Structure 1
Amino acid sequence: MAFNRQITLAITGASGAPYALRLLEVLVKANCQVFVLISSAAKVVLATEENLQIPAKPDAAANWFIERYQAQPDQIRVFGKDEWFSPVASGSAAPKQMVVCPCSTGTLSAIAVGASDNLIERAADVVLKERGQLILVPREMPLSSLHLENMLKLSNLGATIMPASPGFYHQPQSINDLVDFVVARILDHLGLDQQLMARWGYQGATGK
């Protein structure tokens, strides 16, 4: 089956697991092939916030996500932190769009200095050097001057800094509505149609 596009989704250890899971769900529904990278800290957060135990081995984790979201075979691929021969590690094969959601301030810092000590950092570095689209979704407060300096540096390098800051003008009735607000904005920036939330000045969002 042909997919509409390929997108890399990195999940790191900041609070905000519901954002990552909902984003993955809607990307699958949009017929995207998603390359998923999950840090060790992210697995702890997923267990804490969502009571989910992600399998340790990448292939098992991919099958787990495929079953959870009723994805097509091979639609979700998971790579370990040291899989340097994966597509996301090379500019010749990596998707041109990558979202780090949620993005820990540690990951933010590592991307800002080009550390590339693990596959998440390397994948982000590849997207930047290839002039692709990198969206970072930090979830932290308050922000120190160091955090802000790193965000400014990455913004100047072309990354989009999109804090997980839901709005309230759509009169949310549940936590899911707040999650969908952030995910909808991510989809807008990825250039994907979304029916999660009505845009400002419009009424009647569907698909919740």
Structure 2
Amino acid sequence: MKKIIVGITGASGSVYAIDLLEKLHQLPQVEIHLVVSPWAKENIKLESQYSLADITKLADVVYNIRDMGAAIASGSFKTGGMVIVPASMKTVAALSIGYTDNLITRAADVVLKEQRKLIIVPRETPLSAIHLENLTKLARLGVHVIPPVPAFYNHPQTIQDLITHQSMKILDSLGLDHHFGHRWKGE
């Protein structure tokens, strides 16, 4: 069983997190550990038809963002990686300087120090030079930065097609076998 941490922060784009959780939930080889920030909870209400209870049902373990004694706050708790989706610029900034004031940033800091897979899905536009510097610093540390940039080679017909493609890219980066999304097959 591969333990995957999912952190949802307060940037717009909670639909990406929900879709990823739904797809991870369908993979029997994955155990989902979830942390949701207070602003993420608000965005879930604003941006989706889901309740927090609907989302937490998709996870195997749910943590309070203030629980700094949680299993995922320790390097001795082995995981297969972590995804922060969407990743607010506040969270990106905190990660780039090692500021761990909540369980999402602490768990990500642990993943970094243990040299495990950390994926962030930054959701902001336009990006300032500060945002770009923070993202570049994290990329140089080995963080996979996978912004939600749509692909059109697969001829998406719906918004869900675009969201599924994003989840496919994240699942691929985690090294998980899955059947979601349409891949490029050549010309």
With the length of structure 2 as denominator, give the TM-score of the two structures. 0.94
What's the CA shift for 1:52? Answer: 3.3
What's the CA shift for 1:94? Answer: 4.5
Once superposed, what is the RMSD of the aligned Cα atoms?
1.6
Correspondence for 2:56: 65
Unaligned runs of 5+ in 1: 55-60, 70-74, 204-208
Kept after mapping to 1: 8 A contact 2:8/2:87 = yes
Greater relative contact order: 1 or 2 (C-alpha under 8 angstroms, separation 6 or more)? Answer: 2
Question: Hey, what's the Cα distance between the residues in 2 that align with 1:179 and 1:51?
Answer: 16
What's the CA shift for 1:195? Answer: 1.7
Kept after mapping to 2: 8 A contact 1:91/1:130 = yes
The number of residues matched between the two structures is 186
User: Residue 196 in 1 paired to residue 183 in 2?
Assistant: no
Task: Tell me which of 14, 18, 21 is aligned to 2:18.
Answer: 21
User: Residue 161 in 1 paired to residue 139 in 2?
Assistant: no
User: Residue 40 in 1 paired to residue 38 in 2?
Assistant: yes
Q: CA separation of 1:140/1:64 partners in 2, compared to 1, >3 Å: closer, same or farther? A: closer
Correspondence for 1:177: 161
Note the alpha carbon deviations across 1:136-168, whole angstroms, 9 max, x for none.
Answer: 001111100000000010011110111011111
Kept after mapping to 2: 8 A contact 1:87/1:94 = no
Give the share of equivalent positions with the same residue, in percent: 42
Correspondence for 2:63: 79
Kept after mapping to 1: 8 A contact 2:165/2:182 = no
What's the CA shift for 1:51? Answer: 3.6
Correspondence for 2:97: 113
2:5 aligned partner, one-letter code:
T
Question: Hey, what's the Cα distance between the residues in 2 that align with 1:105 and 1:51?
Answer: 25
Unaligned runs of 5+ in 2: none
Q: CA separation of 1:173/1:121 partners in 2, compared to 1, >3 Å: closer, same or farther? A: same
Helix, strand or coil at the partner of 2:156: coil
Note the alpha carbon deviations across 1:27-85, whole angstroms, 9 max, x for none.
Answer: 1111211110100010111000004332xxxxxx5x8632xx5xxxxx52110111122
What's the CA shift for 1:96? Answer: 3.6
Kept after mapping to 2: 8 A contact 1:96/1:127 = no
Question: Hey, what's the Cα distance between the residues in 2 that align with 1:94 and 1:8?
Answer: 11
Structure 1 runs, 4 residues or longer, greater than 6 Å off: none
Question: Hey, what's the Cα distance between the residues in 2 that align with 1:142 and 1:202?
Answer: 32
Question: Hey, what's the Cα distance between the residues in 2 that align with 1:41 and 1:94?
Answer: 28
Greater mean deviation of Cα atoms: 81-90 or 144-153:
81-90
What's the CA shift for 1:201? Answer: 1.6
Q: CA separation of 1:187/1:64 partners in 2, compared to 1, >3 Å: closer, same or farther? A: closer
Question: Hey, what's the Cα distance between the residues in 2 that align with 1:25 and 1:201?
Answer: 26
Question: Hey, what's the Cα distance between the residues in 1 that align with 2:76 and 2:113?
Answer: 11
Question: Hey, what's the Cα distance between the residues in 1 that align with 2:174 and 2:181?
Answer: 15
Q: CA separation of 1:134/1:64 partners in 2, compared to 1, >3 Å: closer, same or farther? A: closer
Correspondence for 2:82: 98
